[in-house]
Amino acid sequence: MKNAIIVSLIALGFAGFSFTKEQPGGTALKASMARGKKVYEEVCMACHQPDALGVPRMNPPLVKTKWILGDKKQLITIVLKGLKGGEIEIDGDRYDNPMPPQEDNLTDTQIADVLTYVRNSFGNKASMVTTAEVKARRKVGK
| Single-letter amino acid, residue 64 | K
Please write down the HEC assignment for all residues of 40-70: HHHHHHHHHCCCCCCECCCECCCCCCHHHHC
Tens digit of pLDDT for each residue in 37-47?
A: 999 999 999 99
Q: What is the pTM of this model?
A: 0.81
Q: CA-CA distance, 43 to 57, in Å (whole number)? A: 20
- The mean pLDDT value of the chain amounts to 86
As a whole number, mean pLDDT of residues 108-114 equals: 99
Is the pLDDT assigned to residue 12 strictly greater than 70? no
Complete domains list, the chain, with CATH:
24-140 (1.10.760.10)
Strand segments (E) across the chain: 88-90, 93-95
The phi and psi torsions of 8 (rounded to 5 degrees) equal: -65, -45
Which residues 6+ apart lie within 8 Å of 60 measured at CB?
Answer: 48, 54, 67, 88, 90, 95
Out of 12-21, 72-81, 113-122, which region has the weakest mean confidence (pLDDT)? 12-21
Tens digit of pLDDT for each residue in 64-83?
A: 999 999 999 999 999 999 99
User: How would you classify residue 80: left for phi > 0, otherwise alpha for psi between -120 and 50, otherwise beta?
Assistant: alpha
Q: CA-CA distance, 115 to 135, in Å (whole number)? A: 14
